[in-house]
Structure 1
Amino acid sequence: MSTVFLLLLVVLGAVFFIGHRKEKARQRELHAAELEQVKKTAEEDVTSFGEEVAELDVITAGVDLDTGGAQDYKQALDSYDIAKETLEKVDEPTDIRHVTEALEDGRYAAKCVRARVEGKPLPVRRPPCFFNPQHGPSVEDIDWAPAGGQLRPVPVCAADAERVAVGADPMVRKVVTGDGHTRRAYWEAGPAYAEYNRGYFNSYAGSGLLPGVLMGAMMFGGMGGGWDGAYGGDMGDAGGDMGGDMGGGDGGGLFGGDGGDGGGLFDGFGDLF
């Protein structure tokens, strides 16, 4: 009887071990696929900024830039090079943050160059446009909500502010998720995009320039909470507390209602709609 019991334990242990290894392998494959999707998104952003840098060559042609202008121009070029080189070396999700950090820095420098060439005041450094960080630094905060959601302040570029003001849809950044074909707003893309988001927004967490709900999300590692409450658990509870304190007292999602069952700010950040 004891021999049969021991054999049963051995069989169960083997089944558990094999199942565990298969699950670990599945998780590795999933994470690798997600990383490739985020890298593709970052590559699109780098390409977009490269086009912006090329335009700087045109608008500065024949222009005698002063010392500040030359420094801004060099910063834009250097940031583009850093973003490209960093992207080529990405092998961990956290590496993506350094790509988008460089892009955010470069886009502000490029905007300064344009202002100098056009004889305008230098722009205040603000967070990127919430709807699409490719749009560069925001110029103001507006109250916005998707259909059925609650109004929240978000930083936006001038073009998107105009669109929203006349009742049009903003130009939202869509990224590939899940099956590799579905495109969703980057803030709905889940935890795989947390580092991508942090690179763009995290430096503004303590600046007072990032609206409270966004700042809370950045402090907990990005906006990639996912619709399914991927952050859940203790972080979801902490996010719920901060969502209540900073987001008007409802403890729910950025634009949603009560944030569901414990997802709090993070479930809510994925629960934007």
Structure 2
Amino acid sequence: MVVQTTAAAAVVLAVGAFLIVFWLGPGIGAALVTAGAVVVAVVVAAVGFVLFKLREGPKDAEVVAAYLPVLTAEWSQAAEEAKRLSGAGDVVDRDVLTGHLWAAEQVLFNQEAPVRTADGITRASGHIAEARYLLAVAEALGRGGPRPHRGAPCFFDPAHGPLTDKVRFNPEGGADRTVSACGSCRALVEAGKVPPSKQVVVGGIPTDYWRAGRVSVPYVDGYWQQRRFPDHELHRLRRDLKLTWDPAETELPAHLDREPPWYAG
């Protein structure tokens, strides 16, 4: 579409230049055409630069600085819960659960190849999201409840695990929207309270992760994967940057022939 539009514009400009030269003569006409070409070139270059900046991904260093501490804490919590699994662990595939935690561990804690890119943050958060879902399954089925819906994570804090319901949320100064919520956050909303959102430090200032713009795209992309994010601005950034994480494309490490991680139980 872009190529076709550019080609059509080039044809129109060429015809226009020919008519100017034809009517005004080679001297004045050529001068006007040259000046017009310079103006068009400057405008095209400016538009191209703006479009490039709009599609430019988040800076790796900024993303890692903001989310490495967040994901380290989330991984540690999930690993501790995996270690405490008892008989409830029989209702989930422990190898798959351990595999996701092990894969996230390699991204976050590998001293030889420390995480330095936004893509690493996406992969780590994606594996933690998968592990968090399996932990929620183990907890629910272990107490005789139904299997949790494999949907989006809790909007207020993705580390809370998958949703149990959807609620209406109207942040201060924001539009009313429907968001996924875990049981605890849903109860707070129903009580007329605003659940605290996951905080991330950007530029030395703590802020709600969903308000952090491009810095949060890799983190959100790992947790939401192909799902739509309820905040319009952040969802637009994800769509424009075309950053998606598909667990089917990520082969888990061949860890079963190695010594199990400490959290394997």
Which TM-score band (shorter chain)?
A: 0.5 to 0.7
* One-letter code aligned to 1:81: W
2:82 aligns with: 53
Unaligned runs of 5+ in 2: 1-58, 244-265
* One-letter code aligned to 1:162: A
User: Cα offset for 1:43?
Assistant: 1.4
User: Cα offset for 1:31?
Assistant: 5.1
1:185 maps onto 2:208 in alignment: yes
User: Cα offset for 1:171?
Assistant: 2.6
User: Cα offset for 1:196?
Assistant: 1.1
* One-letter code aligned to 1:80: L
1:201 maps onto 2:224 in alignment: yes
* One-letter code aligned to 1:54: K
* One-letter code aligned to 2:104: A
Alignment of structure 1 residues 167-182 onto 2, 5 Å: 167-179=192-204, 182=205
2:161 aligns with: 136
Secondary structure class of the residue paired with 1:203: coil
Normalising by structure 1, report the TM-score.
0.59
User: Cα offset for 1:203?
Assistant: 2.7
Q: Which structure ranks higher in relative contact order (CA pairs < 8 Å, sequence separation ≥ 6)?
A: 2
Q: Residue by residue, what CA displacement relative to the aligned partner does 1:95-146 show, whole Å, maximum 9, x if unpaired?
A: 1100010011111111111122112221110100000001000112211011
Normalising by structure 2, report the TM-score.
0.61
User: Cα offset for 1:221?
Assistant: 4.1
Q: Is the 8 A contact 1:128 1:138 kept in 2?
A: yes
Q: Is the 8 A contact 1:37 1:176 kept in 2?
A: yes
* One-letter code aligned to 1:156: A
Identity of aligned residues (%): 25
Q: Is the 8 A contact 1:80 1:102 kept in 2?
A: yes
Secondary structure class of the residue paired with 2:226: helix
Match of 2:99 among 54, 64, 78: 78
User: Cα offset for 1:75?
Assistant: 2.3
Partner Cα separation in structure 2 for residue 79 and residue 151 of structure 1? 35
User: Cα offset for 1:151?
Assistant: 1.0
Greater Rg, structure 1 or structure 2? 2
Partner Cα separation in structure 1 for residue 189 and residue 71 of structure 2? 26
* One-letter code aligned to 2:181: V
Secondary structure class of the residue paired with 1:101: helix
* One-letter code aligned to 1:152: R
CA, structure 1 residues 108+221, in 2 after alignment: closer, same or farther (shift >3 Å)? farther
Q: Residue by residue, what CA displacement relative to the aligned partner does 1:185-243 show, whole Å, maximum 9, x if unpaired?
A: 111223122111110112324xxxx65947655433489xxxxxxxxxxxxxxxxxxxx
* One-letter code aligned to 2:102: D
Match of 2:239 among 200, 205, 219: 219
Match of 2:118 among 89, 93, 100: 93
